[in-house]
Amino acid sequence: MKRRPISLMQALLLCGYISMRSEAQGPTHPPEPTVNLGDTSFLDAIGGPGVLSEEITDGTQSEHVNDGAGLTATGSSASKSISETVHVAALSHWRILGAWYGVECLQAFAHVDSGPGSNVSGLGELTVSPLILQWNEESVGKVRFIQRFVLDFDLPTGEYQRAAKLSIGSHAFDVQPYYAVTLFPSKRLESSWRVHYLWNATNHQPSVTSGAHSTQAGQALHFNATVGYRFWRGFWVGANGYYLAQITDPEINARPLAGSPERVGAIGPGILWDWGHWLLFANAYREVGALNRAEGSKVVLRLQWVPSRKSSTGEHN
C-alpha cells in the first residue's frame, strides 16, 4: 500500500530557470511534474487488508540546473525545499484477479527557497488511486516475492499562479500507474523495485513568462530500487537508488520540442527500523547525470503506521 510523497524542489528550480530564460528567448523546455524519485524504498511491495497511514518528510538541495549536454546551465542557481506529505491507504478483503482491492489518497505541503524574492509555499497536487491490487506472498523455488499494481492520478489542485516564476502545482492532470515487487532471495536479504509510467495532460494556462499558450511535459519512465540486509530483527541497512528518463518530446503550443529529454539517476544509503505496527525509513541520495533538470542531494524520512500488521516479517491479519 506504500505510495509516493511529492518532492517538489527540483521541478520548481527548473521552472524558475525556464521562466528566466523565456523572458529573453521565448518558451523552452516544459519540465516534468514532481514524481516519486526515491521516496519509497525497502519492503516496498508488502501489504495486506487493513489501513496504512504515513507521514513523509522530504528535504532537497539542488546546486544547479543542468542543460541538455549535462553542463551547468547559465543563470541557474541553488535552491532548497522541504515538503510534508500525508498518505492514507486502505485494502479490503475483496479480491480482483487474486489480489486484494484497495484505494489511497496523498496530500503534500511544500516550501521552496531559491533565493531572495523566489520563495513559495503551498499545497501540492492531490493524488488519488481508485485501484490498488495487492497480491499475497508467492514463491519461485526458494525466492519469495510480493507484488502490487496501482493506478494513480494527480489532480491539478496545487497552488498555482500564472504570473509567478515559481508555483507548487503544475496545473495539469497526470496519470501514473506503477508496478512494485519485493523479492526475498534469503531470510535476511530483500530487493524492492517500483517501476512507474508517467503521462501528462496539457497545461492550457502556462506561466505568463513562458510566452506559450499551452505546454505539455513529455511521457516518462522512472523506477526506485533497493537492496537491503536485515542485521537483526526489524533493522535493515542497504543501498537505494532511482532513475528517470523522459521517453517522448514535450510540446509547446501543440508542437513537439525535440532534443530536450529529462534524465537523472541517484544512489545512496538507507536504513529501516521495523517495529511491526510502526516502520521508520531514512534514505539519502546523491544525484548524477542530470539532463535538462536540477541536480543535487535528497533526504527522505518516512514514518508509517499499519495497525493490522502483526510482526516485523510483514504478516497481516
Domains in the chain, CATH or no CATH each? 9-305 (2.40.160.40)
* 131 vs 276, higher pLDDT: 131
Paired with 134 in beta bridges are: 100, 148
* Helix locations, 74-211, DSSP H: none
User: Is residue 30 over pLDDT 60?
Assistant: yes
* Helix locations, the chain, DSSP H: 9-25
> Sign of dihedral through CA atoms 29, 82, 304, 288?
positive
Closest CA to 113 of 122, 121, 102: 121
pLDDT of 31:
87
Hey, which of 39-43, 118-122, 258-262 has the most confident mean pLDDT? 39-43
Closest CA to 54 of 1, 103, 101: 1
Asked whether the beta carbons of 119 and 111 are under 8 A apart, the reply is yes
CA separation for the pair 75, 47 (Å, rounded): 45
CA separation for the pair 10, 13 (Å, rounded): 5
Lowest mean pLDDT of 118-127, 140-149, 172-181, 187-196, name the range.
Answer: 118-127
pLDDT of 1:
52
Asked whether the beta carbons of 26 and 128 are under 8 A apart, the reply is no
Does this model's pTM top 0.75? My answer is yes
Place of cell 493490522: 308
Q: How far from the centroid of its chain's Cα atoms is residue 40's Cα?
A: 8
